[in-house]
Amino acid sequence: MRNYKIDELDQQIITLLSEDARLSNRKIAAELGFTEGTIRSRVKRLEDENYIRFTAVTNMEHMKTPLLAQIGIHAEQDMIKQVAEEVAKFSQINAVIILLGRFDIFAIGLFEGLAEVQQVASNQILDLKGVRLVETSLVVDVAKYDNRVAKIVHPLSEYSLEFAAK
């Protein structure tokens, strides 16, 4: 899928940008002892190869009653992929992972309060065709959250198209 395997310089650039994505190429170049041009082409390649994405993250403390919930779903074996794709459509759901083990599908969502968790998990998801069982777990506290890593699912081109359309 990828033509390029990242090296140590790429990882150093990523580490700096994961703290502050708005650092200028000039500052990164000075910090790491390379030219601005080298840094610019590295950053571009990392983006083009879907290794990295720059985004604004807002603090969930600024929601009224933020509640993270994890929803484990058991689905009919021949419908796992379809169910996962349906679950991914809910705006409250941030992550949908197909699992081997505890559940067939593991979904993580951010909700405005318990009523919304109940509405989405126990009503809407359970009602989807192919869903056999839903088990919800509420997040009480987050002891660690490494937002440097994620799965970059959409290729860059889709992002730019979507943006151009707005």
Partner 1 sequence: MSDQNFEFSDLDRSIITILKKDGRTSNQKIADMLNVTTSMVATRIRRMEQAKAMKVVAVSDFSAFDYNVLLPIGVDVKGRRANDVAADLAKLEEVAVVQLVSGRHDIEILVTLPSMDDMSGFLLEKLSKIKGIRNLDPSFAVDIIKYDFDVAPI
If the CB atoms of residues 3 and 148 are measured against partner 1, the closer one turns out to be 148
**Tokens matching residue 87:** 């679950």
Q: Which residue has the tokens 């083009």?
A: 48
CA neighbor of 98 nearest in space, from 79, 121, 112: 79
**Least distance (Å) from partner 1 to the CB of residue 158?**
11
What is the binding site for partner 1 (CB under 8 A)?
Answer: 2, 6, 10-11, 14, 17-22, 43, 46, 50-63, 66, 68, 70, 81, 84-85, 87-88, 93-103, 106, 110, 135-153, 159, 162-163
**Least distance (Å) from partner 1 to the CB of residue 74?**
12
Torsion angle, CA of 148/142/110/105, rounded to 10 degrees? 80
If the CB atoms of residues 88 and 119 are measured against partner 1, the closer one turns out to be 88
User: How many whole angstroms separate alpha carbon 42 and alpha carbon 62?
Assistant: 35
If the CB atoms of residues 30 and 138 are measured against partner 1, the closer one turns out to be 138
If the CB atoms of residues 22 and 78 are measured against partner 1, the closer one turns out to be 22
**Least distance (Å) from partner 1 to the CB of residue 2?**
8
How many other CB atoms sit within 10 Å of the CB of residue 3?
A: 7
**Least distance (Å) from partner 1 to the CB of residue 142?**
5
109 and 68 Cβ atoms separated by less than 8 Å: yes
152 and 51 Cβ atoms separated by less than 8 Å: yes
**Least distance (Å) from partner 1 to the CB of residue 8?**
12
If the CB atoms of residues 40 and 119 are measured against partner 1, the closer one turns out to be 40
User: How many whole angstroms separate alpha carbon 153 and alpha carbon 160?
Assistant: 14
